[in-house]
Amino acid sequence: MSKVTITDLTLRDGHQSLIATRMRTEDMLPICEKMDAVGFWSLEVWGGATFDACLRFLKEDPWERLRQLREALPNTRLQMLLRGQNLLGYRHYADDVVRGFVAKSADNGMDVFRIFDAMNDTRNVRVAIEAVKKEGKHAQGAISYTTSPVHTPEQFVTMAREMVDMGCDSIAIKDMAGLLTPYATGELVSALTDAVAVPIHLHTHATAGLSEMCHLKAVENGAANINTAMSAFAGGTSHAPTESMVAALHDSQYSTDLDLMALQEIGFYFREIRKKYHQFESEFTGVDTRVQTTQVPGGMISNLVSQLKAQGALDKVNQVMTEIPRVREDLGYPPLVTPTSQIVGTQAVMNVLTEERYQTITNEVKSYLQGRYGRTPGQVNPVVRRKAIGDAEVIECRPADLLQDEMDTLREQVGDLAQSEEDVMIYAMFPDLGREYLEHRRDGKLVPEPLEPVGAKAEKKNAPVEFKATLHGETYHIKVTGTGHKRDHERPFYVTVDGMPEEIVVETLDELA
């Protein structure tokens, strides 16, 4: 039995899960010295959606963020989440882009690369793993954890063995939705520790309220490392709190030996920081066990709510939640994680909003059914496939085998806008967004998305929901009981007037107040 180490996720998955990846570098740097002194095994600070969010919303150079964090955290391993052949984007890139991206990440300070594939097709992680090893860095192979009639613990063990054979230094169970239960965790960790000689790390989400129990079962069954987030960015669709897990394991054979008081101080810092980002708080906080029955991750639920709101179809949310598992089954039960969560989620929305299921089929679903994201875990629905791609060929090879090297073309396309190879990578990841970012930077026009002042939301919340109104000499008792969402400027409020239900349309909540 040995000590347990901790990877703290606050600076990547913590804020990605709770405030839509909006934490700015300026809010990370002041606390780095203290975080660096804690003795974490690693800090996950980069990758996943952070690259996209830096460019799209924060107008920050993601590479500059990495360099600054490297400088501010000299004593702690920096860790990132890499989506295998999808890197930090949503499509497969050619192998030369994968190798170049990994090399630049290592040059700029990355130590640990957690690499996953949304289909668990190990062919899609091989090039990235080899590239990390070539740079002399830590390659961590991640299993995208899911449950379905075609997934078994034995398959995950086989996958772990394959990734270790490819050169991985550790294996992570990546439970991105919070599907794990404590006993399933114990069983899987035990099977993995028996099967492979490298350390097992556990990454799970707190959505269903099970994460601390899962971590406990993981360490009891031999996990070397657990992933947590500082309490201010823990819970809900995020992770188990770092401070609580340190306290839970204290004085046991699994003790992390981290200083709880030092952690508390860091926790208070983040408590204040989170307030700044209140406008990005998800509507789903606290415990939501629906993920255990629908398999729909919390982050995906909030995305769906925004998609449906934009279509004026928020009332269809429950239908979409029921449709997602059906689409997933039709597609052969892929784990739901970027990009398959978007592929399945968007098709489910289409299926609900159109008269007939699969009346409209997205291009991503067509590509998926042609094998362009990799091998599907189970059989796909042949009727849906025929409808989507007719007699088109389904590829059997690794999807990136069909891609020509891209770097020369990308360099040529971006031209003088790129002042470094890192800039070329910005363009490579997201050609439209990357070009726009580089142009705005050249023209001195980078404007980050504004933050609403702290308290702005609180004021709105305080608008009266029950009041008396006098009209033509008659006094009514009005109680607002809920809002519907049609178009943003025309929101009906459901009210009771003297106890009778009424619908009134007002321009804004402020006007009503």
In this structure, is the dihedral angle defined by the CA atoms of residues 262, 263, 265 and 270, taken in order, positive or negative? positive
List the one residue from 65, 83, 92, 205 that touches ligand PYR (CB under 6 A). Answer: 83
* Pick 13 or 243: Cβ nearer ligand PYR: 13
Q: Which residue has the tokens 């839970």?
A: 248
Least distance from ligand PYR to the Cβ atom of residue 53, Å: 10
**By the rule CB under 6 A, 114 interacts with ligand PYR:** no
Q: Are 177 and 207 in contact (CB under 8 A)?
A: yes
Tell me 440's DSSP state.
H
Distance in angstroms (rounded) separating the CA atoms of residues 312 and 314: 6
Question: Residue 17 or residue 307: which is nearer to ligand PYR going by CB?
Answer: 17
To ligand PYR, the closest distance from the beta carbon of 176 in angstroms equals 5
Could you give phi then psi for residue 226, rounded to 5 degrees?
-120, 150
Minimum distance from CB of 118 to ligand PYR (Å)? 8
Closest of 356, 359, 360, 333 to residue 344, by C-alpha: 333
Site string for ligand PYR, 474-513 (x = CB under 6 A): ----------------------------------------
In the complex, the smallest distance separating the C-beta of residue 83 from ligand PYR, rounded to whole angstroms, is 5
242 and 6 in contact (C-beta within 8 Å)? Answer: yes
Give me the least distance between CB of 49 and ligand PYR, in Å please: 4
**DSSP output for 105-153:** HHHTT--EEEE--TT--GGGTHHHHHHHHHTT-EEEEEEE---STT--H
Binding map of ligand PYR across residues 43-82, x = CB under 6 A, - = no contact:
-----xx-------------------------------x-
Nearest to ligand PYR of 237, 351 (CB atom): 237
CB nearer ligand PYR, residue 17 or residue 170? 17
Buried b (16+ CB within 10 A) or exposed e, 204-219: bbbbbebbbbbbbbbb
Q: How far is the CB of 348 from ligand PYR (least distance, A)?
A: 19
3-state secondary structure of 173: strand
CB of 51 to ligand PYR, least distance (A): 9
Q: How far is the CB of 63 from ligand PYR (least distance, A)?
A: 18
Closer residue to ligand PYR (CB): 13 or 190? 13
Least distance CB 367 / ligand PYR (angstroms): 18
Nearer to ligand PYR by C-beta: 83 or 398?
83
- Nearest distance in Å: CB 13, ligand PYR: 6
Q: Cβ closer to ligand PYR: 116 or 437?
A: 116
Q: Which of residues 321-340 bind ligand PYR (CB under 6 A)?
A: 337-338
Asked whether 380 and 405 are in contact (CB, 8 A), the reply is no
Query: Encoding tokens for residue 312?
Result: 């004026």
Task: Return the residue nearest ligand PYR (CB atom).
Answer: 48
Question: From residue 166 to residue 205, what is the string marking binding to ligand PYR with x (rule CB under 6 A)?
Answer: ----------x-----------------------------
Report the residue number, 88 or 495, with the smaller CB distance to ligand PYR. Answer: 88
Task: Tell me whether residue 5 or residue 16 sits nearer to ligand PYR (CB atom).
Answer: 16
Token pair listed for 307: 């998609």
Side chain identity, residue 440: H
Tally of CB atoms within 10 A around 504: 12
For residue 501, the surrounding DSSP H or E stretch is strand 500-506
CA separation for the pair 61, 446 (Å, rounded): 10
- For ligand PYR, the closer CB: 60 or 254: 60
Are the CB atoms for 234 and 197 separated by under 8 Å?
no
Q: Which residues of 124-138 are buried (b: 16+ CB within 10 A; e: fewer)?
A: bbbbbbbbbbebebb
Residue 226: which of 256, 250, 198, 251 has the closest Cα? 256
User: For residues 126 and 205, which CB has a smaller minimum distance to ligand PYR in the complex?
Assistant: 205
Q: Of 238 and 351, which CB lies nearer to ligand PYR in the complex structure? A: 238
Alpha-carbon dihedral of residues 145, 148, 153, 155, nearest 10 degrees? -90
Pairing, β 42-47 against β 77-82: parallel
CA torsion angle for 18, 23, 29, 30 (degrees, to 10)?
Answer: -70
Binding-residue total with ligand PYR (CB under 6 A): 9
Would you tell me which residues interact with ligand PYR (CB under 6 A)? 13, 16, 48-49, 81, 83, 176, 337-338
